[in-house]
């Protein structure tokens, strides 16, 4: 069974503060993704990675950085958090093997509130 975990599950931050969201996967997948979910916008891709040491910009990367220090771990970093970054953040892992039908597996999400 695919396993993606996220920490923290809930986070309250202050405007201008630094926030780090962490994600760990035990699937040995090459690819990892960070999404944010907002009502009316669905799931939007922030950053993704093809493997350790690589990060790529997604559709809405502004205000976010990402780090992939190992196959298992992928972090999302908000250097200067703003209230507009209040959202639910999901991490996912997946692979290209299995062709186009290869699935992505999501973590349980992190609810971030920036005051």
Binding interface with another protein (CB under 8 A): 4, 33, 40-43, 45, 48, 58, 90, 96, 99-109
Residue closer to another protein (CB basis): 75 or 89: 89
State how far the Cα of 101 lies from the Cα of 99, in Å rounded to an integer.
5
- Minimum CB separation of residue 13 from another protein in Å reads 21
User: What 3-state class would DSSP assign to 75?
Assistant: strand
For residue 79, cis peptide bond before it (omega within 30 degrees of 0): no
| CB nearer another protein, residue 15 or residue 96 | 96
| Cβ neighbours around 8 below 10 Å, total | 13
Which one, 12 or 102, has the nearer CB to another protein?
102
Residue 38 CB coordination number (10 Å)? 12
How far apart are CB 34 and another protein at their closest, in Å? 12
When the beta carbons of 12 and 82 are compared against another protein, the nearer one is 12
Radius of gyration from C-alpha coordinates of the chain: 13
Beta bridge partners of 91: 34
Give min distance, CB of 38 to another protein, in A.
Answer: 10
> Smallest gap, in angstroms, from Cβ of residue 66 to another protein?
14
């Amino acid at each position: 069974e695919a396993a993606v975990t996220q920490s923290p599950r809930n986070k309250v931050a202050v405007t201008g503060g630094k926030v780090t969201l962490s994600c760990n996967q035990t699937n040995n997948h090459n690819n990892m993704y960070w999404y944010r979910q907002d009502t009316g916008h669905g799931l939007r891709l922030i950053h993704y990675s093809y493997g350790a040491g690589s990060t790529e910009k997604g559709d809405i990367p502004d205000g976010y950085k990402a780090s992939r220090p190992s196959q298992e771990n992928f972090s999302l970093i908000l250097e200067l958090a703003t209230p507009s970054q209040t959202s639910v953040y999901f991490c996912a892992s997946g692979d290209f093997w299995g062709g186009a039908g290869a699935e992505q597996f999501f973590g349980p999400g992190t609810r971030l509130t920036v005051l």
